[in-house]
Amino acid sequence: MPSEFELIARYFTRATSHTLLGVGDDGALITPTPGQELVISTDLLVEGTHFLADADPEDLGWKTLAVNVSDLAAMGARPRWATLAAVFPAPTPEWIEAFARGFFACADECGVDLVGGDTTRGPRAFCVTVFGELPAGTALRRDGAKAGDSIWVSGRPGGAALGLAHLQGRTVLAGPLRGDCLAALHRPQPRVELGLALRGMANSAIDVSDGLLADLGHILDQSGVAARLKIPGLPAAGLERNCLLAGGDDYELAFTTANSKDGDITALSVRLGLPLTRIGEIVAGPPRELVLCDDDGAVITPARRGYDHFA
């Protein structure tokens, strides 16, 4: 097995594109772009909680960075740098090599330089911190939703949870749906371009990591508003409906915009080639109330809103 330093040198040291000093010293040196604010976010992935012991290492490497970049997308930031703290149990070089391949594939796609980290032996876990930039004062926050806003979601939420249900034998997916759901689960696509386009357009945004209703609930909480949802094509009942409403791990963006911008969002959807669906509207109080209606306007009570590690 390679030593810790051979590991870092061989698998986690790559040429950088916009970094003064990267991996190898006691700290990295970066030059923030003048006039830009830094957006910083950390996510931890732990075996058994966030991924299964037999997860494909290349997919896992991708996802480890992608879920972090998704937080930058939800802020409207351009991803720039990342650090990676990795805990491996006696790793085989093949496993780490595949993990690094997936990680750097996502880094290349998102324009991220890996500039440092830490590497330790122990139960498998990965902690990434990402740094992004945006023009001062333009961040998309959770606390800006206003009564009258349209509520939108990107992509097709629920796919990752359906893919997981398939892997766990709770349902059987077939045909293109199976491929789509497994890709959503294993290779989430951070919606960076969408986040950038929403600057100056959206009043609030969040990425859907714990479930659509749960994450929308954070916007309602922090903005002090309520919502009425009417989701086009909401499945009548069962697993598919639960996955759409409360499934985690999708990393789509949920956001609100003044309803005068509905046409702009539809045009943006075409430009990005990404479905953007209007799923309801923000209404004035009572704060945090989230009412879900079916196609006929009847109120539905969902079984649960989302995932909470401590509930």
Residue from 2, 24, 32, 285 touching ligand ADP (CB under 6 A): that is 24
With a CB cutoff of 8 Å and minimum separation 6, the contacts of 121 are: 87, 88, 89, 90
DSSP-assigned states of every residue in 171-228: S---HHHHHHHHHHHHS----HHHHHHHTTTEEEEEEESS-HHHHHHHHHHHHT-EEE
Give the nearest distance from C-beta 126 to ligand ADP in angstroms: 9
CB 271 within 8 A of CB 265: no
Residue from 119, 129, 138, 269 touching ligand ADP (CB under 6 A): that is 119
Q: Does 127 engage in binding with ligand ADP (CB under 6 A)?
A: no
Distance CA 110, CA 126 (A): 19
Residue among 112, 97, 90 at smallest CA distance from 61 = 97
Binding mask 183-222 for Mg ion (x = CB under 5 A): ----------------------------------------
Buried b / exposed e across 103-113, counting CB within 10 Å, b at 16+?
bbbbbebbebb
Question: Binding segment for Mg ion among 56-64, 66-74, 116-124, 132-140 (CB under 5 A)?
Answer: 116-124
Give the nearest distance from C-beta 84 to ligand ADP in angstroms: 4
Q: Does 23 engage in binding with ligand ADP (CB under 6 A)?
A: yes
Q: Does 131 engage in binding with ligand ADP (CB under 6 A)?
A: no
Question: Binding segment for ligand ADP among 29-37, 110-118, 271-279, 301-309 (CB under 6 A)?
Answer: 110-118
Within residues 268-287, the interface with ligand ADP by CB under 6 A covers none
CA 112 to the chain's CA centroid: 16
Binding partner selected for residue 119 from Mg ion, ligand ADP, none, CB under the kind-specific 5 to 8 Å limit: ligand ADP
Residue ranges that bind ligand ADP, judged by CB under 6 A: 8, 12, 23-26, 84, 86, 114, 116-119
